[in-house]
């Protein structure tokens, strides 16, 4: 049996951001789209990766999310792989360096991302021998109504109403 490649399990059409985007807007985009990573993609090339952890670290060292940009917080040399890379090699690299995702590229072309969530789906499929569909989908690739966004955000209302929700993520 041939080992599966990252192309079989990656998330295609990943969410992207430009480096000049305000960090507050990038955080809101990740929250609203139920994702943890934004590929920084400009001029047809991957320039970096912004994760929720990167954003939290930038803010923890005293930055203000309304003044900082994605470029201020992003990882400038993210882990990339080709679509033909075996998932075991990608998983080993991600585990060894505690990466949350691998950016899948072919030359300069962005093809997708392989996240820890994708790795869990791969594990389910390989363990059962049956195709495994994603259990959750990022909302930036699934058309959603405003009502669906309200339902998703409603579970955070008590935190927001208690004044414990970050100002830059307030529901408008």
Q: Among 2-6, 72-76, 104-108, 146-150, where is mean pLDDT lowest? A: 146-150
d(CA 65, CA 101): 23
The closest of 38, 15, 19, 45 to 106, measured between CA atoms, is 45
In a domain, 149, yes or no: yes
H helices then E strands: how many in the chain? 8, 7
- The two structure tokens encoding residue 161: 């109403």
d(CA 37, CA 16): 8
Q: 62-109, pLDDT tens digit by residue?
A: 877 779 999 999 999 999 999 999 999 999 999 999 999 999 999 999
In a domain, 1, yes or no: no
- Scored b (16 or more CB within 10 A) or e, 26-36 reads bbbbbbbbebb
Q: Phi and psi dihedrals of 67, rounded to 5?
A: -100, -30
In a domain, 170, yes or no: no
Q: 13-36, pLDDT tens digit by residue?
A: 999 999 999 999 999 999 999 999
Domain count, the chain: 1
Q: Is the pLDDT of residue 137 over 80?
A: no
In a domain, 131, yes or no: yes
d(CA 81, CA 87): 10
In a domain, 171, yes or no: no
In a domain, 47, yes or no: yes
Expressed as residue numbers, the domain containing 85 is 6-165
The predicted pLDDT at position 141 comes to 60
**CATH number, domain with residue 143:** 3.10.580.10
In a domain, 119, yes or no: yes
In a domain, 40, yes or no: yes
Burial class (CB in 10 A: 0-12, 13-18, 19+), 128: exposed
| Alpha-carbon torsion, ordered 158, 162, 163, 164, to 10 deg | -70
């Amino acid at each position: 049996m041939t080992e599966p490649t990252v192309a079989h399990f990656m998330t295609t059409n990943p969410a992207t951001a430009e480096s000049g985007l305000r960090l507050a807007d990038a955080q809101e985009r990740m929250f609203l789209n139920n994702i943890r990573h934004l590929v920084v993609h400009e001029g047809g090339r991957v320039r970096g990766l912004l994760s929720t952890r990167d954003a939290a670290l930038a803010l923890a060292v005293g930055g203000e999310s309304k003044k900082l940009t994605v470029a201020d917080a992003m990882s400038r040399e993210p882990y990339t792989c080709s679509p033909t890379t075996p998932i075991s090699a990608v998983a080993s690299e991600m585990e060894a360096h505690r990466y949350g995702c691998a950016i899948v590229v072919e030359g300069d072309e962005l093809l997708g991302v392989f996240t820890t969530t994708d790795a869990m789906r791969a594990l389910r499929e390989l363990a059962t021998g049956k195709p495994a569909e994603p259990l959750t989908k990022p909302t930036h690739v699934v058309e959603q109504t405003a009502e669906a966004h309200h339902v998703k955000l409603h579970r955070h209302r008590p935190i927001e109403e208690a004044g414990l929700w970050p100002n830059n993520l307030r529901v408008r």
